[in-house]
Amino acid sequence: MTAIPAEAWGCLLGLVLISIGTGGIKPCVSSFGADQFVHAGHPATRTHAISSFSHIFYFAINLGSVGSFIITPLLREYVGYPVAFGVPAILLTLATLIFWSARNQYNILPPAG
C-alpha cells in the first residue's frame, strides 16, 4: 500500500515493518520446524529428519530469494510498483493463512534451556 503514493514516508514505513517482521520471525522459524520432529522415533532418526528439514528449508528460502530478485524487478518495470510489491504481499498473506489454518496440528514445545 505504501508504494501507491510513492512518498518517502511510505518507504520508511515499509522498511520498519519489514525489519520488525524479519527480526520477529527468522530466529523462530527453523527451531519451530525442528520441534515438529520431536516424536520421530530413535534419536538418530530425529537427527536425520531435522537435518533433512534444514537442508530443504534453507534451499526453499534461497530459491524464493533468487526468484524474488528476478521477478520483482520485472514486475516493477513492466507493470509498476503496486503490482511488484502487491504480488509478494498476497503470497505472504496466503502463506500466513495456510500456516494459521493448521495451527492445531503443530507440536508446540515450551521454551527451555
Rounded distance between C-alpha atoms, residue 108 and residue 7, angstroms: 42
Residue 107 has, within 13 A of its CA and on its CB side, a CA count of 12
- What pLDDT, in 10s, does the model give residues 47-59? 888 899 999 999 9
> Residue 3 is placed in which grid cell?
508504494
* Under 8 Å between Cβ of 55 and 63: no
Could you tell me the pTM of the whole model? 0.70
Average confidence (pLDDT) over 31-48: 83
Where do the structural domains in the chain lie, given as residue ranges?
Answer: 8-105
